[in-house]
Structure 1
């Protein structure tokens, strides 16, 4: 069994359903998973069993003890890949919107890693069995360029380039509102949101994060922008743009409820550049945004 955890309900969480509250404070745990725990009597409030719809009271002591589970073996899957470049050291993929990069709770199949395991004879093992070859990630609903390493030497080199801010990464996004400045730098630390563990936020003791932005085109109530990353924090562009009052169109986590339906945030990793781990040659790749992104721009233009 994992160590039993205890959480005392604060005043601001009064009257919240217990399943909703636990899903908020526990990273990478879904509400449905919490409901399963409650059904299996793995969760108590003040030592008593409750139902998933129990409304929390300030001072309640919530206790949960969840058994450890073995991660299932990651299987190769014959999933088509949009391969931009490949050699014996690495592979560059244009990841489609909606594809999860690597297996995790709730997503053990149909990921980019499952596809890579089928396509490649070898992948680096630095990140273990669930993330072979994965040097960096982009979110499920973010499309675009991503590099994977086929051996540990290539993985180490690419990771060092990322850490040293030597990798070129540019994204294009559609945001709410009309940015006043043509260019700018958002330099604000990012960490886990203390009020919602499933979100990231700009917080005082977070990790450094810098996002450069440039306006490509302005529309009525919207802007089409390019972002260049110096760092690669979780949800960085999404958090930073929301922080300055211009959340991404379609973003279900950081954007407004009333937004255009683009099946997740309108964000595309369009440029990726790095030095080849073996030859030292600088490689530069570009990928056009997917059709749904381009169609959204067309709709916004007609609305303006």
Structure 2
């Protein structure tokens, strides 16, 4: 006997169908070691699910002007802003973990916007990517973003905006690499698009050529602006990179 994945999950977890569908859409439900990505997909009624728990939001720093938090994977930036009741200064993709900034002061927000425009903000990421990245490099390739409703897809295009990323290898294990990425610009999905362009798609980034994995293996590790500097430690699955 078969049924829709979200209905089977609802029965197993004793939750509503809506709640079950939201868990699958969020990307935290697995069956037989693989992520369940289609809530309405049909599975055998004997399927056993595993639901990953989302880590709590951890406050890294707070003063009268801003709050820096360690955003967990599988949570949108907007959900963090709602939980903390503060507006965002920038955004991270849902499955990207790491440093996220929120503001408490409108004048400070304007200063941050100006700093981004002047490229006076330093942002650093850690990623696990496909392939062997053996040398540091600069990727200078314009990015065009196409937005449809609440979704966006970016690609390298001469019609796009300037985008510059700096890549530094940290470790190679088998056919995958751990790298550090510093970005001079902040285009939508910039790191994901640039890494795809050199044949080093991020593990778990199926939208941009990566192999399926439990999450997008991208972590916002550092950000510095207006005299502030914040850092988020690598998540456990990045530290245990050799076991990936």
The TM-score, its normalising length taken from structure 2, stands at 0.72
After TM superposition, the structure 1 = structure 2 runs for residues 37-48 of structure 1, keeping only pairs within 5 Å, are none
Residue in structure 1 matching 2:63, options 87, 103, 107: 87
Q: Deviations over 1:83-137 (max 9, x none)?
A: 00001110001100111011xxxxxxxx1121111xxxxx4xxxxxxxxx21211
Q: Deviations over 1:118-169 (max 9, x none)?
A: xxxxx4xxxxxxxxx2121110000000111112101001111111111111
The aligned counterpart of 2:141 is 188
Deviation at 1:80, TM superposition (A): 4.8
8 Å Cα contact 1:187-1:211 kept in structure 2: yes
Pair 1:193–1:89, CA change in 2 (3 A): closer
The aligned counterpart of 2:193 is 239
Larger Rg: 1
The aligned counterpart of 1:137 is 91
The aligned counterpart of 2:112 is 158
The aligned counterpart of 2:74 is 98
Q: Deviations over 1:34-59 (max 9, x none)?
A: xxxxxxxxxxxxxxxxxxxxxxxxxx
The aligned counterpart of 2:218 is 267
| Secondary structure in structure 2 of the residue aligned to 1:138 | coil
8 Å Cα contact 1:189-1:206 kept in structure 2: yes
8 Å Cα contact 2:143-2:187 kept in structure 1: yes
The aligned counterpart of 2:84 is 116
| Secondary structure in structure 2 of the residue aligned to 1:165 | coil
The aligned counterpart of 2:243 is 299
8 Å Cα contact 2:173-2:242 kept in structure 1: no
| Secondary structure in structure 2 of the residue aligned to 1:199 | strand
> For 1:80 and 1:145, how far apart are their aligned partners in 2?
13
Deviation at 1:233, TM superposition (A): 0.7
RMSD, matched Cα: 2.0
Q: Deviations over 1:177-219 (max 9, x none)?
A: 0024x2111000111259xx74211011101100001001122
Unaligned runs of 5+ in 1: 1-78, 103-110, 118-122, 124-132, 276-281
Higher relative contact order (CA 8 A, sep 6+): 2
More strand by share: 2
> For 1:140 and 1:248, how far apart are their aligned partners in 2?
15
Structure 1 stretches of 4+ with a deviation exceeding 6 A read none
8 Å Cα contact 1:94-1:146 kept in structure 2: yes
Deviation at 1:264, TM superposition (A): 2.4
Q: Does 1:201 align with 2:151?
A: no
The aligned counterpart of 2:169 is 215
Deviation at 1:290, TM superposition (A): 1.4
> For 2:93 and 2:182, how far apart are their aligned partners in 1?
16
Residue in structure 2 matching 1:288, options 215, 230, 233: 233
Unaligned runs of 5+ in 2: 1-54
The TM-score, its normalising length taken from structure 1, stands at 0.58
